[in-house]
Amino acid sequence: MHLSDNVTVADWIRRAPKVALHDHLDGGLRPATIIELARESGYEGLPSEDPVELAAWFRDAADSGSLERYLTTFAHTCAVMQTKEQLHRVAAECAEDLAADGIVYAEVRYAPEQHQERGLTLDEVVDAVNEGFREGERRTGGRITVRALLTGMRHTDRSTEIAELTIAHRDKGVAGFDIAGGEIGNPPARHLAAFQLLKQANCHYTIHAGEAVGPESVHEALQVCATERLGHGVRVIEDIEFAADGTATLGALAAYVRDNRVPLEVCPTSNLQTGIADGYKAHPIDDLRRLGFTITLNTDNRTVSGTTLSAEFQHLHEAFGYGPEILYDFTRAAVEAAFLPLPERTRLMDEVIDPAYDELAGRV
Ligand SMILES: O=c1[nH]cnc2c1ncn2[C@H]1C[C@H](O)[C@@H](CO)O1
Ligand SMILES: [Zn+2]
């Protein structure tokens, strides 16, 4: 694909319409908003009251080599997401920030149970976030559509309740369910009752798996819990053997994931911070892509990981030489894997994404 004019790489990446399936609401607050909300609400635990310093603090603290330590940083964002007004503001700004990065459709997840410290009911949490997303969509003039995924935390026992909440709010701004939190010691099958409830109700869900734990976690998420997509999933690479000449032999699980086109929600920067590899060039995404796995590209946590979806692609451009064709492939895979009705996915491709790529390539 030849780009029309003399656009820089950073420029076409940002201008290309993108789709984000794995972005945590509580991982993406604007640092200045965290500071303002902390002041207003009397939260005194922030490590800095300077937005630039606070942003750097998150990136550094997250860059810990361990998922468990990465997750401790969320105490500071969840602390300022405890009232309807706070949730509304954070959600509206999230939609604006994603749209400013060229994202046209996003599924944004959060754990409602983490926003009840000041007495909100689960329904009030979901309504406040949904209204915030609608407000953010309006402020962008409809350039973005945002749907919520409701997350149950792996280490608590509220996943069935959150699954019921997902079913109650489905098609009213909520597109599905997720399980997140520390993976070690909390296998997904602990939440089997929640998944069965969702299946009975024909509801969508995804599961974080294969991030800190290897193939056994991916296997359980897929074959015991019947997930539609894998949050990260990248440690499926541990079920592939590479010979010295580069030839790959897939184990049965890796072959299943690839051959059934199970979408992987890959978040390179977050994975590097939690210890999967030493640098972008060593991240498994390129091997997985070349072997034919279905890859979607995501941010995980924009503030905590100090990233944007454009930055994620820029890193891959630098590490592997990826160009517009591959960004298009990731985007199309994300649309196909989105928890949206088929006609809406078709409309997104035909009326938003393809025309914008045609324009970028000077075909119109
Ligand atoms: O990458 C992740 N793996 C597991 N859990 C995560 C990840 N990113 C964020 N979380 C957790 C921390 C948040 O508080 C929670 C809900 O968004 O999900
Ligand atoms: Zn995540």
- Distance (Å) from CA 245 to ligand 2 centroid: 34
Whether 220 and 188 have beta carbons less than 8 Å apart is answered as: yes
- Name the token pair of 57: 């603090």
Please compute the mean of the pLDDT values over residues 158-185 and round it to a whole number.
Answer: 96
Q: Would you please indicate which residues are annotated as catalytic (active-site) residues?
A: 211
Q: What is the pLDDT of residue 273?
A: 95
Phi, psi of 306 (to 5 degrees): 60, 50
Give the model's confidence band at 8: pLDDT under 50 very low, under 70 low, under 90 confident, else very high.
confident
Percent above pLDDT 90 for the chain: 92
Residue among 29, 63, 66, 74 whose CB has most ligand 1 atoms within 8 A, to mutate: 74
Give the model's confidence band at 363: pLDDT under 50 very low, under 70 low, under 90 confident, else very high.
confident
Question: What's the burial of 141, exposed, middle or buried (CB within 10 Å: 0-12/13-18/19+)?
Answer: exposed
Give the model's confidence band at 7: pLDDT under 50 very low, under 70 low, under 90 confident, else very high.
confident
pTM of the model: 0.97
Give yes or no for residue 208 CB within 6 A of ligand 1.
yes
Give yes or no for residue 74 CB within 6 A of ligand 1.
yes
- Distance (Å) from CA 291 to ligand 1 centroid: 28
Instruction: Name the DSSP letter for residue 263.
Output: P
Please compute the mean of the pLDDT values over residues 38-50 and round it to a whole number.
Answer: 97
Please compute the mean of the pLDDT values over residues 83-101 and round it to a whole number.
Answer: 98
Name, in order, each residue with C-beta under 8 angstroms of 88's C-beta and a sequence gap of 6 or more: 128, 129, 131, 132, 135
Q: What is the pLDDT of residue 183?
A: 84
The ligand 1 atom at the shortest distance from the C-alpha of residue 25 is 17
- Distance (Å) from CA 356 to ligand 1 centroid: 32
Q: What is the pLDDT of residue 64?
A: 86
- Name the token pair of 27: 């991982």
Domain ranges in the chain? 9-360
Give yes or no for residue 338 CB within 6 A of ligand 1.
no
pLDDT tens, position by position, 316-339: 999 999 999 999 999 999 999 999
Give the model's confidence band at 364: pLDDT under 50 very low, under 70 low, under 90 confident, else very high.
low
- Name the token pair of 257: 């994931």
Residue among 22, 23, 24, 166 whose CB has most ligand 1 atoms within 8 A, to mutate: 24
What's the one-letter identity of residue 201? A
Q: Residue 233 region, left (φ>0) first, then alpha (ψ -120 to 50), else beta?
A: left
- Closest alpha carbon to 267 in 303, 228, 231: 231
The ligand 1 atom at the shortest distance from the C-alpha of residue 71 is 12
Q: What is the pLDDT of residue 175?
A: 98
State the CATH architecture for 9-360: Alpha-Beta Barrel (3.20)
Give the model's confidence band at 30: pLDDT under 50 very low, under 70 low, under 90 confident, else very high.
very high
Interatomic CA distance for residues 95 and 84, integer angstroms:
17
Please compute the mean of the pLDDT values over residues 209-233 and round it to a whole number.
Answer: 96
Residue for token digits 């985007």? Answer: 331
Give yes or no for residue 111 CB within 6 A of ligand 1.
yes
The ligand 1 atom at the shortest distance from the C-alpha of residue 77 is 14
Q: Is the pLDDT of residue 278 over 90?
A: yes
Q: Is the pLDDT of residue 230 over 90?
A: yes
Interatomic CA distance for residues 331 and 323, integer angstroms:
13
Question: What's the burial of 290, exposed, middle or buried (CB within 10 Å: 0-12/13-18/19+)?
Answer: exposed
